[in-house]
Structure 1
Amino acid sequence: MKTTEKKELLRGGQFLVKETKSEDVFTPEDFTEEQKMMRDSVKEFVDREIWPNKERFEHKDYALTEEIMQKAGELGFLGVAVPEEYDGLGMGFVSTMLVCDYISGATGSIATAFGAHTGIGTMPITLYGTEEQKKKYVPKLATGEWFGAYCLTEPGAGSDANSGKTKAVLSEDGKYYSISGQKMWISNAGFAKVFIVFARIEDDKNITGFIVEYDKDHPNGMSFGEEEKKLGIHASSTRQVFFNETKVPVENMLSERGNGFKIAMNALNIGRIKLAAASLDAQRRITDLATKYANERIQFDTPIAKFGAIKSKLAEMATSAYVGEAAAYRAAKNIEDRINIRLEGGASHAEAELKGVEEYAIECSILKVACSEDIQNCSDEGIQVYGGMGFSADTPMESAWRDARIARIYEGTNEINRMLAVGMLVKKAMKGHIDLLGPAMKVADELTGIPSMDKPDYSELLAEEKEMIAKLKKVFLMVAGSAVQKYGPQLEDHQQLLLAASDILIEVYMAESGILRAEKNAKKLGVENQKIQIAMAKLYLYHAVDTVTIKAKEGIGSFAEGDEQRMMLMGLKRFTKYSNMPNVVELRNTIAEKLSSENAYKF
């Protein structure tokens, strides 16, 4: 086993209170040769098998989805994260992110089928199953012989997942459970063989997980609703699943009784960061298509790619993709390193992966929100670049926009994830895992102190941008620290304040990731070589500063009055002030002109 390289590895959420050095982050430019080969293999598969068949997916060709999934299994793509002893490839977390990234860009139907199967359909058994369960089910799931589905959501249990009414009753002889209930929005239900089902035993506080096999010739009390009519992801099989005294052997209980809620939450943590990855190649492809169209579309004897209004859109689309890549792979490598540390300490694969992902649950929620909203914005702007043609189903933008919409609901709505991110951060601080109090008190002291009149030294690469990131962190500490002090445990009742604080947290992480990626690669490859990447990092930060300013005002106004409010607003102004305001128009033009000259997103 390769020993984790020696570098400072921050705990989840510590990015807020500790400086991250650019040399300590992982970027897509750091992919190994093996990872590049895997990426290229997946891209070739998508371009050969999926992209040419987009129209068939839009016409609800569920059989094609199943066929593509079988082919993906034959090539090993379904087993990237599965240990070799269960017929998987046993690759690291970054590689699993990479495959999820590149297999998901052509259509949301395959992205959903792949994510549901490899994530919530397979990983719960891999991570929580007994050895017998793993040997029986995981190899067939890893190779695509069988497909998996995940039955958690019910008509009355969505975000409140632990409130499900599905019951599991133990037989008199103690040999099996009878499961009865209704599940809805079940991805892959139309062709799955293995269902991870959550049900409540007696009046247990928490639900319990079960592995349930389905055989169409012997349905065992299982029945299915019709395929749901959906806004997007048309060829993703989505059905209700009904259980009527479905008999499940006691040995098919997954983990321990009452452990289902924990299984569900940990599966969602993995699902959130994988969903962020699944949004990336879609952004790249949409940006590619929009750029090509803008170069080819002539109006007033000029390609529309030369118009400033279009340049602005293309630059913003590319920027969100670049920063999303930076943040997603930064977090993925942190998770992988934490997993390796635990493996080197003697932990099992399951324990190491669970704890590794759980450590960065805050970052997983941040990424889920940011990348799902970026792909929606990107597809929306893609339609706008195409103009009237973008609204037509004959072009790929229309389906991309519809497919993107579900990402803000999957794996916990973005509202839930926003509140989770701040809530988990506060809980970590209360447990002593992150020192938020000390830095927050320093910011409070700074508010009452005299600002330094010294002229800052911005001679180093991205020095002012890194200082701005540090100041945005102070804004979060100022707002969140004062809010916690005022409301204490009742903070969770103030949802709009939590949402505002979360938006600040999200922008800090995303903007810092972009700056660190640009800085690291400029140092390694040269500033001139990375000129466009630096421009994208600066452009994203500019928008982040605006968002932080708006959300901080919203938060401050909700709980502070009089002198306290005036002092915090003055501090906000100080913490969001540029010494040298960037020329945003020039940044956008620089990015867009590079896109146009390459006729594609090539960063």
Structure 2
Amino acid sequence: METVEKDILRGGQFLVKETSCDDIFTPEDFTEEQKMMLETVREFVDREIWPNKERFEKKDYALTEEIMRKAGELGLLGVAVPEEYDGLDMGFVSTMLVCDYISGATGSIATAFGAHTGIGTMPITLYGTEEQKKKYVPALATGEKFGAYCLTEPGAGSDANSGKTKAVLSEDGKHYLISGQKMWISNAGFAETFIVFARIEDDKNITGFIVEYDKDNPNGMTFGEEEHKLGIHSSSTRQVFFNDTKVPVENMLSERGGGFKIAMNALNVGRIKLAAACLDAQRRVTTEAVKYANERVQFKTPIVKFGAIKSKLAEMATSAYAGESACYRAAKNIEDRIAIRVASGNTHQEAELKGVEEYAIECSILKVAVSEDIQNCSDEGIQVFGGMGFSADTPMESAWRDARISRIYEGTNEINRMLAVGMLVKKAMKGHVDLLGPAMKVADELMGIPSFDTPDYSELFSEEKEMIAKLKKVFLMVAGSAVQKFGPDLEKHQQLLLAASNILIEIYMAESTILRTEKNAKRFGEEAQSHQIAMAKLYLYNAVDIITKNAKEGIVSFAEGDEQRMMLMGLKRFTKYTNMPNVVALRTQIADKLSEENGYCF
């Protein structure tokens, strides 16, 4: 695994430390091996998945299983699996890349792939004993068998540790007998290896088990009918019932009571992978919208020439570009952190677990941002198609329905928003991220006299990078004051947490977009990156608006009188442009390029 010598920020530190564009990874940095893998996946999708979209909408579960087997034969299910268990062991960026490009054509395959490779296989590779890994992982890595993950119950969704499923030790001490009900289980219709969470006696925390299913010997396992869902129609989703299902004691995953930890860490990886799984969907939706807008003529003019359509297409492409920028920035941070841990003597398991856990804040940020971007993108895609977009004969309708589940998977976006801020505050308490020092500096700055000097903005992005620094002050001002006011009770103020999280999310996404573009402008030239520069400026402009709205809402929720006035004045100062960008011109520039290339081209 290759890592570069650079100062790698710890998770959450992006908020209080400046990042150099030279220190981030971008999709333009893909190795030759990664580019070959990308083309392999794209070719596979264009051959096997995209032409069959209609079949996926008609609940063709057999087709999903067939495609998954073919993906296994190509090695795509084992990209993240170590070589000794028949995987490709390709590193975190490559696993993100495969997840990204295999997921764009239909949410049914995106879900089946994510459930199998992520929460179906990964808990065994990261928590299993050597015997468990040798027994189960090779068949999962090659697609000989498929995995599923049984956590959610009728009364235990977001509160995952409150499950009622029981595991009782048999009298001879050789088996656990599992009884209970799980719901929303992806791949349940064709999986043979289930990760099941159950509670032993009155343990505080649940425990994980590897449970085998054989249709000729069901061992107390029965399945509900396929669920009727808004989207992801060919993703097999069933309830699973356990009635004294015998599981050998050696199939306990990790230690007793360790299930909640497994579930939470699996979700961290699942969140950043889910963000990746929304990226190619955005590219494809944008491309289809551009093609239609180029072909559709109204009032003797292709609709792509109309400003209202240009605005939509530009915003769709910009959100896709921003999502790519942030996802691959975080993925390489994780990969580098894993490599550092391996070099210092950690096992593969320890290194990967700690590497991902380090960037849990970024994983939550990405999950929220990109899942909402694909929903907005597909919604605007329908609008570009007009009445045809509402028809199931066009790809927009299914894209919109498939996108909707992304805001619920891997912890709802509301929970992830609150988690991102909560985890940041906890890191600050542990001394991993110095929030207090910078927050106090911002408080002092609010009391001081602002500078009236005219800054020098002669370099590319000099004003935009200054704006990012000021937006970070907005977060520190709002969150710092809120922590001071409420202390440990802050978690009870959910609407304030949501507002603070929206600020945090926009800072990370906007900064990632600017850093990617700055890096590429330095090596390819500003002219070659002119449209990406326009997208970075457009994204930041939108982010400033979102941050201003959320900061106001946060401030007036807990501050009054002089304190409120001072903070609102500070907000105005921290969100003020010296040179306001012409966003209409930016959108027009981006849309004209899309029209010229007849699709997403960045």
Same fold (TM over 0.5): yes
Q: Give identity over the alignment, percent.
A: 86
SS in 2 for 1:168: strand
Q: CA deviation at 1:460?
A: 1.0
- The AA in structure 1 aligned to 2:250 is E
Separation in 1 of the partners of 2:369 and 2:353?
23
Asked whether 1:74 is paired with 2:50, we answer: no
Q: What is the CA deviation profile of residues 142-188 of structure 1, one whole-angstrom value per residue up to 9, with x for unaligned ones?
A: 00000000000000000000000000000111100000000000000
Offset at 1:516? 0.4
**What does 1:443-482 correspond to in 2, within 5 Å?**
443-482=442-481
- The Cα of 1:214 is off from its aligned counterpart by 0.1
Deviation (angstroms), 1:453: 1.6
Work out the CA distance in 2 between the residues paired with 1:588 and 1:208: 52
Distance 2:541 2:452 in 1: 24
SS in 2 for 1:198: strand
Tell me what 2:198 maps to. Answer: 199
Could you tell me which residue of structure 2 aligns to residue 64 of structure 1? 63
Listed as ranges, the matches of 1:84-233 within 5 Å are 84-233=83-232
Hey, what's the Cα distance between the residues in 1 that align with 2:417 and 2:596?
38
Kindly report which structure 2 residues correspond to 1:57-456, keeping only aligned pairs within 5 A, or say none.
57-456=56-455
State whether structure 2 residue 593 is matched by structure 1 residue 594: yes
1:341-376: per-residue Cα shift (whole Å, max 9, x none)?
001111111100000000000000000000000000
Letter aligned with residue 570 of structure 2: G
Deviation per residue, 1:383-430 (Å, 9 max, x gap)? 000000000000000000000000000000000000000000000000
Question: What is the rounded CA distance, in whole Å, between the counterparts of 2:346 and 2:453 in structure 1?
Answer: 51
Cα distance between partner residues in 1 of 2:407 and 2:432: 29
1:562 aligns with 2:561: yes
1:156 match: secondary structure: coil
Give distance in 2, aligned partners of 1:596 and 1:214. Answer: 51
Following the alignment from structure 1 to structure 2, what is the Cα–Cα distance between the partners of residues 323 and 372? 13
Q: Partners in 1 of 2:71 and 2:234 — Cα distance?
A: 16
1:404 alignment partner, SS class: helix
Query: Equivalent residue of 2:209, what SS?
Result: strand
Counterparts of 2:80 and 2:597, CA distance in 1: 34
Q: Name the CA distance, whole Å, in 1 between partners of 2:456 and 2:245.
A: 70
One-letter code of the match for 1:304?
Answer: I
TM superposition shift of 1:600 = 1.1
The SS at the match of 1:95 is helix
Cα drift, residue 265 of structure 1? 0.2
Q: Give the secondary-structure state (helix, strand or coil) at the position aligned to 2:18.
A: coil
TM-score normalised by the chain length of structure 1 = 1.00
Alignment of 1:454-603 (within 5 A): 454-603=453-602
Task: Give the C-alpha shift of residue 457 in structure 1.
Answer: 1.0
Task: Measure, in 1, the Cα distance between the counterparts of 2:53 and 2:519.
Answer: 38
Structure 1 residue 5: deviation in Å? Answer: 1.5
Q: Residue 239 of structure 1 aligns to a residue in which SS? A: strand
Query: Distance in 2 between the 1:10 and 1:459 partners?
Result: 28
Give, in whole Å, the separation in 2 of the partners of 1:472 and 1:169. 53
Q: Distance in 2 between matches of 1:158 and 1:379?
A: 27
Corresponding residue pairs, total:
602
Moved over 6 A (4+): none
Superposed CA offset, 1:280-312 (max 9, x none): 000000000000000000001110000000000
Q: Aligned equivalents of 1:11 and 1:160: distance in 2?
A: 28
Amino acid at match of 1:324: G
Q: Which amino acid aligns with 2:87?
A: G
Alpha-carbon distance in structure 2 between the residues aligned to 1:286 and 1:246? 44
SS in 1 for 2:181: strand
| CA distance in 1: counterparts of 2:43 and 2:236, whole angstroms | 25
Alpha-carbon deviations, 1:451-482, whole Å to 9, x = none?
01221111111000000000000000000000
| Deviation (angstroms), 1:446 | 0.2
Q: Distance in 1 between matches of 2:534 and 2:7?
A: 27
Shift of 1:6: 1.0
Shift of 1:577: 0.2
Which ranges in structure 2 are unaligned for 5 or more consecutive residues?
none
| Paired residue secondary structure (1:346) | coil
Tell me how far apart the structure 2 counterparts of residues 459 and 341 of structure 1 sit (CA, whole Å). 38
Distance 2:7 2:506 in 1: 23
Task: State the secondary structure of the residue aligned to 2:93.
Answer: helix
In the alignment, does 2:13 pair up with 1:24?
no
Q: What is the DSSP-based 3-state SS (H/G/I as helix, E as strand, rest coil) of the residue aligned with 1:415?
A: helix
Amino acid at match of 1:575: F
The CA deviation at 1:504 is: 0.1
Q: Secondary structure at the match of 1:98?
A: helix
The residue that corresponds to 1:8 in the other structure is 7
Deviation at 1:437, TM superposition (A): 0.1
SS in 2 for 1:235: coil
| Matches of 2:452 and 2:195, distance apart in 1 | 61
In 2, the alpha carbon distance for the partners of 1:286 and 1:498 equals 32
**CA distance in structure 1 between the partners assigned to 2:116 and 2:452 by the alignment:** 58
Q: Distance between the aligned counterparts of 1:575 and 1:31, measured in 2?
A: 36
Structure 1 regions of 5+ residues with no counterpart? none
Q: Secondary structure at the match of 1:41?
A: helix
CA distance in 2, matches of 1:480, 1:587: 32
Question: In the aligned structure 2, how far is the partner of 1:459 from the partner of 1:344?
Answer: 42
Letter in 2 for 1:210: F
Between the aligned partners of 2:5 and 2:352, the Cα distance in structure 1 is: 20
Which residue identity is paired with 2:92?
A: F
Deviation at 1:47, TM superposition (A): 0.2
Q: How far 1:71 sits from its partner (Å)?
A: 0.1
Which one-letter code corresponds to 2:500 in the other structure?
A: A
TM-score scaled by length of structure 2: 1.00
Q: Distance in 2 between matches of 1:423 and 1:103?
A: 33
Please list the CA deviations of residues 231-263 of structure 1 after superposition, one character each: whole Å capped at 9, or x if unmatched: 000000000000000000000000000000000
Per mean C-alpha deviation after superposition, the further-off stretch among 454-463 and 268-277 is 454-463
Deviations 1:58-88 (A, max 9, x none): 0000000000000000000000000000000
Aligned-partner residue type, residue 179 of structure 1: I
Secondary structure of 2:167's match?
strand
Could you tell me how far apart the structure 1 residues matched to 2:516 and 2:230 are?
36
Amino acid aligned to 1:136: K
**CA separation in 1, counterparts of 2:575 and 2:455?**
15
Instruction: Find the aligned partners of 1:543 and 1:144 in 2 and give their Cα distance.
Output: 43
One-letter amino acid of the counterpart of residue 39, structure 2? D
Please name the residue that 2:44 is paired with.
45
Q: What letter is aligned with 2:134?
A: K
